[in-house]
Amino acid sequence: MQTKKNETASGLLMPLPKHVEQKDGAFRLHMGTTISYDPIFGEVVELAREQLACNIGGEDILFKLVEGFGEDCYRLKVGKNQIVVSSTYPSGGFRALQTLRQMALANDNLIPCCLIEDEPAFPWRGFMLDCSRHFFSVAFIKKLIDVASMHHLNRFHWHLTDDQGWRLTVEGYERLEEVASKRTLLSYTDGRTYGGVYTDEEILEVQAYAHKRHMLVVPEIETPGHASALLSAYPTFGCTGGPYEVQDRWGIFDEVMCAGNDNLLQFLQEVITKTARLFSDPYIHIGGDECPHTAWETCPKCRQRMEEQGLASVKELQSWMTSQVCTMVEKAGKRPIGWDEVLEGTEKLGIPSSLIVMSWRGDAGGIEASSLGHDVIMCPNTAGCYFDYKHLPSFDEPGNIGVTTIEKTAQFSPIPKGISKEAQCRILGGQGNLWTEKVTSAKAAEYMFFPRLSVMAERLWNPQPFASVEERRPSLEKKLTRLDINLYRGASV
């Protein structure tokens, strides 16, 4: 008769905890398992009732308040008859719960006896979903947040505006929903449209769901490029006055926001104010990437702005506009984040010290920004962070532009090579990004995210060698399958 292999905690978890001691035996979760807790962990235990199917009352599982742990840190002691979670903050208790949840999912509710002491390597552990190119339901976004948080990710970067659709309502600007949120599908000849907006209520619902899972939400409002959808609704915000259209093509488009238009700046102020009021977390992403300056070169308003501000080039004009939008964000009580193009043309004006730089075009932007004293988030498309890329260089694999193998993601480090010790302290962490030009459904998005996002989570929590990742892929696939994730199951390299 074949006997079941005795699994260990180390074989069931991703990320692997910082310290694990394996013990003999296992704790069996069942419908009668009970939980007791310090009141500070009340919301965490409510989730535990849902995720572990436990009951409040006894002390089979005990959440204890113990001073001296950092945020997100915890101790987990699993015995045959009792599980004890010790932490100082609810976030630490939540991370411990997700560790228990992973083991239960991967091992049929048998949790191996162990002692775990755990803490993250980086404070910023994120993922980005592009909801402009393709519109994803609130239910799916919540599902992603839930699975990402199970892997100890703690930032959801929500890309809400781009050339192909505007997804946020703003009072007094009804054409954002009526026009900018919908595009005509050029692949059809009957004029059908695609798109939509997230209502304030839906955004608050997503945010509340994320907060219960100790994840912050970072909205992105693109400026000053990737603006076709906005300009289609409000043509006077562009340099030529149009006509413009919400794009159903992919790429970079010359028509961008007019940097010389005071009415545009007033609009952006209202958008930032609304966004800051709706999203309670500390950050607003202002975009800043892939902005052609072609229209600015011949625009009278832009030329006048340059003369008024003493700017010698259109690159400096973008730097000026970045500073304007950053000021709006700061006045709204938030901290701005921008793609690494915000560093260009800044020799004269510089950029606000509060601006966090998100380095996506390799490591160079992160190295430069950190050397200038800026905090940095690393997500280079060259280093396994872009999940719209193919899993393998195969004609039969879905994906766009490049290749991001699991091995490549498993080798990612947020700390660029050659960076100084002082600058290393400014690297907040990193994230995995899914642009959705060619990702047309939730199931397709899951396939592109997983298991690479799980591997990315480990790189940001407690990085492990690729061989270790491969050893744990079967248990990872079991967990994700039980959560109804449509994951890639092919080769890693």
3-state secondary structure 5-23: CCCCHHHHCCCCCCEEEEE
Partnered with residue 118 across adjacent β-strands are 74
Q: Where along the chain do its domains lie?
A: 11-118, 124-481
- Measured between alpha carbons, how far is 444 from 435 in angstroms, rounded to an integer? 12
pLDDT category of residue 16 using cuts at 50, 70 and 90 = very high
The secondary structure of the chain in percent helix, strand, coil, rounded to multiples of 5, reads 35, 20, 45
Tens-place pLDDT, residues 414-450 = 999 989 999 999 999 999 999 999 999 999 999 999 9
Predicted TM-score (pTM) of this structure: 0.97
Range 44-48, long-range pairs (CB < 8 A, 24+ positions):
44/90, 44/93, 44/94, 44/97, 47/94, 47/97, 47/212, 47/213, 48/97, 48/100
- Judge whether residue 2 has pLDDT over 90: no
Helical spans, DSSP H, in 36-107: 42-51, 90-106
pLDDT for position 418: 86
Indicate if 124-481 has the same CATH topology as 11-118: no
- Judge whether residue 300 has pLDDT over 80: yes
Q: If you write DSSP's letter for every residue of 357-388 in order, what string do you get?
A: EEE-SSSHHHHHHHHTT--EEE--TTTT-BTT
Range 49-66 average pLDDT: 95
What DSSP element (H or E) covers 430? strand 427-434
Annotated catalytic residues are: 162, 226, 290
The mean pLDDT value of the chain amounts to 97
Distances in whole angstroms, Cα of residue 195 to Cα of each of 136, 176, 229, 239, 248: 9, 12, 11, 26, 11
Number of helices followed by number of strands (H, E) in the chain: 17, 19
Q: What is the CATH number of domain 124-481?
A: 3.20.20.80
Tens-place pLDDT, residues 214-266 = 999 999 999 999 999 999 999 999 999 999 999 999 999 999 999 999 999 99
pLDDT category of residue 6 using cuts at 50, 70 and 90 = confident
pLDDT category of residue 388 using cuts at 50, 70 and 90 = very high
pLDDT category of residue 5 using cuts at 50, 70 and 90 = low
Pick the CATH number of 11-118 from 3.40.1110.10, 3.30.379.10, 3.40.50.720, 3.30.450.20: 3.30.379.10
Distances in whole angstroms, Cα of residue 8 to Cα of each of 62, 90, 100, 359, 482: 21, 26, 12, 37, 19
pLDDT for position 4: 53
Range 400-408 average pLDDT: 95
